[in-house]
Amino acid sequence: MFDVRALFAALRPPVPVPATAYGRGVAALERGRYAEAIAAFTDALHAAASAGEAATAHNKIGVAHVATGRREEALDAFCAALVADERCAPALVNLGNLLLENGDVLDAVDYYEAAIRIDERLASAHRHLGIALRRLGRRPDAVRALKTAARLESRRSAS
At residue 15, φ and ψ (nearest 5 deg) are: -80, 125
Instruction: Give per-residue burial for 54-85: e unless 16+ CB within 10 Å, then b.
Output: bbbbbbbbbbbbbeeebeebbbebbebbbebb
Architecture of domain 16-85: Alpha Horseshoe (1.25)
- pLDDT at 6 (0 to 100): 72
pLDDT at 32 exceeding the cut of 90: yes
Average pLDDT, the chain: 93
- pLDDT at 22 (0 to 100): 96
> Residue 113 in contact with residue 137, Cβ under 8 Å?
no
For the residues 100-109, what does the mean pLDDT come to?
A: 97
Kindly report the CATH class assigned to 87-159: mainly alpha
140, burial (CB in 10 Å: exposed 0-12, middle 13-18, buried 19+): exposed
Per-domain residue ranges of the chain = 16-85, 87-159
Q: Considering only 3-12, 89-98, 135-144, which range has the smallest mean pLDDT?
A: 3-12
Measured between alpha carbons, how far is residue 141 from residues 58, 81, 128 in Å? 31, 29, 12
Helix (H/G/I), strand (E/B), else coil: 76: helix
d(CA 128, CA 92): 11
Closest residue by Cα to residue 124 from 101, 146, 155: 146
Measured between alpha carbons, how far is residue 132 from residues 25, 71, 120, 152 in Å? 30, 20, 17, 18
Chain center to CA of 60: 7
CATH topology identical between 16-85 and 87-159: yes
